[in-house]
Amino acid sequence: MAENHALRLAAVGKEYLQGENRLTILDAAELTLAPGEMVALVAPSGAGKSTLLHIAGLLDRPDTGEVYVGGVASGTLGDEARTAMRRQAIGFVYQFHHLLPEFSALENVMLPQMIGGLDRKAASARAQELLDYMRIGARSEHRPAELSGGEQQRVAIARAVANSPHVLLADEPTGNLDPTTSGYVFDALTALVRQSGVAALIATHNHDLARRMDHAITLEAGKIVPLDMS
């Protein structure tokens, strides 16, 4: 059944030692994301939001349970195979864009594709198509320092989906932007998710944006639970 889901966390558990105390961050946590679905993750600092994103993005391993990406179980994969899965099947967007300053917007979106084995011409065409879709195609030859905050973040989103991932994980992607720019970037992100069919898990403190997604979740005592945003 996992094969029908873009992302599935099955009974995921994670603990950390703090001195002599054992802290339970995730406790048999369950989450399923379908292709094209947008889910808001709204939780206070310290609730385990970053841990959840890191485990979902295969940046960290759970102590118990399994993470399925595109129907494939990741738990038994070695580091090299996990890295390959993360590169091809998962896209990341952070609060700060993390674009490479010495490269143009186009080149920043080309790089993950070329690392994945695509030739330069095909990567360039795909990158330009994505930047056009994000309404920033005219700025493709500009370097990050020459772009506004909203433009930089739209380039970062285009880069995150350049390899057509199953899953997009975003951590406060509009947190550094003013409300108007934030709304514009979120609109572009939503359009891209719907058009591409990528499943998106978006951590945000912005309740207005959370209400615009398909549904919202939070973390309570290590469990993933629905959050009513009405």
Q: Where are the domains of the chain?
A: 33-62+86-217
- 68-79 confidence digits (pLDDT tens): 999 889 988 899
CA nearest neighbour of 192 among 228, 217, 148, 156: 156
CATH architecture of 33-62+86-217: 3-Layer(aba) Sandwich (3.40)
Q: Is 198 left (phi over 0), alpha (psi -120 to 50) or beta?
A: beta
Which range among 38-42, 158-162, 191-195 shows the weakest confidence by mean pLDDT? 191-195
* Range list of H helices, 61-198: 79-89, 105-115, 120-133, 149-160, 179-196
- 164-192 confidence digits (pLDDT tens): 899 999 988 887 788 888 888 888 889 88
Q: How far is CA 50 from CA 64, 87, 109, in A?
A: 17, 19, 25
> pTM for this one?
0.89
Q: Say which amino acid occupies 161.
A: V
